[in-house]
Structure formats: structure tokens, C-alpha cells
Structure 1
Amino acid sequence: MTRPPAFAQQITFLYAEDPAACRRFYGEVLGLPLVQDQGFAAIFAVGAGHRGFLGVVQARGPREVTDPRREGGVVVTLVTPEVAAWHDHLAAAGVPIEAPPRHAAAAGITHFFFRDPAGYLLEIQRFDRPDWPEPG
């Protein structure tokens, strides 16, 4: 069986009851560039090369774990070698951080968690292991 071509890009859509607050958070606090505003959805680029994106969309209702089209059910991990710098930036911006950065030896990462205005759990992470692919 012949496999189709590899995927060229990826978008994770986050559903929020207050999408305006999330748009401000991703655009102003995290500094992600807005690449498309579709009215009902705002799509931000994550990283160089326009390969990964986060979209913020109006939720159909409050969080319900059983329906992935509502708030919840995902952890967004942003990978950077500058974990401590991001921790300091977010703390200075008043973003509630669950715990300071820590090294998780079993996974070979350094990371910390925080939440966006809609309650999504986000993680800033660095891979401390040589077998993680470099961005390209």
C-alpha cells in the first residue's frame, strides 16, 4: 500500500467561551503572530517556518470532557531551549504558573505548566536528550 505524502502543516484548535481573552493571551503575552483571522477563528503561528499553528475558536458551550469540540481535553506543549526565560516572562506578565521549571529525568526534559484564559493547560518544554529531532 502506498502512503500519501507527509503532512505539511498542523493546527491545534482550542475552543474558548471568551475567545477575545485567548486571542490577547496568545498574541500579546506569548507573542505568537496572527496569520489568519477568520472571524470565528484566529490562527496563530507557533515557531518558524509556518508548520505549526494554534487556532482560537468560540466554544459551543462550557467545558465538557466528553465533547472535544468544547473547552478542555488537550495539553499544548511549546518546545524551546529557553525554558527559564519563558518562565520569567510569563511570571512577569502575571500568568499563574503551576510550579517552577523542573527537570524530569525519566522523560529527559525540563518543563513547567501554566493555563491560558480558557483554562487550557500549556507546557513550556526543552528536550534534554539527543534523540529529539531538531527543527528543520
Structure 2
Amino acid sequence: MKVSELMEFDASKYLKDENDYRLYLSQAFEGGDPVEIQAALGDVAKARGMTALARESGIAREALYRALSNKGNAEFATIMKVIGAMGLHLTLAKPEAVPRAAAKAKTASKAAVAKKPRPVAKRGSSTTSKSRTRASGAAHA
């Protein structure tokens, strides 16, 4: 099978109800990537029906397709209108705390990196670091 024969994945075909829409959008917002959020809004808009969403948001259907595509550059006002037309609203919250096990593992790995072994002086060396310092100090005096 050739790559050109493969169908492009369309998430909108798998979003069946309001709960699916909310979970899908929640994951996109959690990731924080604006392009991903915009594409997820486009997927949900297709799943719900772009024409109905255009009517409810007051934005032309063609403009919605462009704005919510992967290559679109929707204004924040457009995003807010789309979210409102979907019957949703944005809520801000502090990020969840890092679970303790993950935090301990991260701290342990940092400690291991910070504790690099010190180089050991070679045996049989006739000069020590103190004598080298004295010798270099005397040479400069």
C-alpha cells in the first residue's frame, strides 16, 4: 500500500457526544499548544456540525473552516465565540501539583548528576597541589 493511498486521520469522526467534546478539548488545552487547541476546536466543530456552529457563533461557515484549520490563525475573539457557541466557557486553575513519586525521582536524578566524582591524583606523582602552588607563587614573586 502506498502512503498516498492512506486516509488522513480525522478525529471528528470519533467524537460522539458532549462529553467526548469536553474531554478532547480539555486534553488540547492541557497541552498548551495554540495550534493543537485550534485544531481540536476545528475537530469538535466538524463533529457537532460546522453549519450549526456558524449560525450559533455568528461567524461565516467558510471563515470558521479557515480559522479552525491547522494552518489557520484565529483571533482570540473568534476562539471565544466558538467556545461560547459550543455551550462551554474557559476557567483558569493552578496546574496540578507534581505527584510526590515523580518529584522524588526528579530530585534524585538531579542529585546524582550534581555528585560527579572528583578526579583522583595519580600515584607516583612527585609533586602535590600545595607544592605546585608554592612553586608557582615563588616564580611570580
Name the TM tier (shorter chain): under 0.3
Larger RCO, structures 1/2 (Cα 8 Å, 6+ apart) = 1
Report the TM-score when normalising by structure 1: 0.22
More strand, by proportion: 1
Report the TM-score when normalising by structure 2: 0.21
